[in-house]
Structure 1
Amino acid sequence: MAGTFEVFVDEESRYRFRLKSPDGSVIAISTAFEDKSAAVAGIAAARECAGMGLVTDLCPAASVRNPAPVARPNVLPPVCDDRHRASDGFRTRARELRRAAAAPRWTGAA
């Protein structure tokens, strides 16, 4: 099960959203928004950026330990010829389906 976004009104009567994990713990809380539509746009932006977000390590170098080596299975290199390439129409349709799945879904509780 995926996490859920909740839109709520904070103490200053401004809209915010929080991301909750499947077990109910709060993972993130947004900044304040003027109206509900701006909060929904913030959720859409968070959904789009979260999957592609880069990780930046801001820890000092002295605190990083060398991890134990991990055994990796032998993986064959991808075949790079045209007969294995998917058509552009397939990729376009898949992109449209991902965008539709990322659209805001209201539960009616707000």
Structure 2
Amino acid sequence: MTGKFEIYSDAADKFRWRLKAGNGEIVAQSQGYGSKDAAKKGISSVQSNAASAPVVDLTEAS
């Protein structure tokens, strides 16, 4: 099974998204957004930027 994004509303009536792996575990979640459309734009941003984002290891001395 493939991963999926879920949009939901929190206790403060903000829209949030979470990314679930194929096994159902949450691997990422968002900040609260004022509208569902803004949450969808946040998902689109992750989808378009994550594949090319560098990994920066802050635990290693430079």
What corresponds to 1:79 in structure 2? none
1:14 aligns with 2:14: yes
CA distance in 2 between counterparts of 1:60 and 1:10 reads 36
Q: Secondary structure at the match of 1:8?
A: strand
- The structural deviation recorded for 1:11 is 1.1
Q: Secondary structure at the match of 1:13?
A: coil
Structure with greater proportional helix content: 1
Larger-Rg structure: 1
CA distance in 1 between counterparts of 2:34 and 2:52 reads 27
What corresponds to 1:59 in structure 2? 59
What corresponds to 1:38 in structure 2? 38
Give every structure 1 segment of 4 or more consecutive aligned residues whose post-TM-superposition deviation is greater than 2 Å.
none
Q: Secondary structure at the match of 1:43?
A: helix
Structure with greater proportional strand content: 2
CA distance in 1 between counterparts of 2:60 and 2:7 reads 36
TM-score (norm 2): 0.92
TM-score (norm 1): 0.53
CA distance in 2 between counterparts of 1:56 and 1:2 reads 26
- Larger deviation, residues 52-61 vs 37-46: 52-61
What corresponds to 1:71 in structure 2? none
1:29 aligns with 2:25: no
Q: Secondary structure at the match of 1:23?
A: coil
**How many residues get paired?**
61
CA distance in 2 between counterparts of 1:32 and 1:21 reads 21
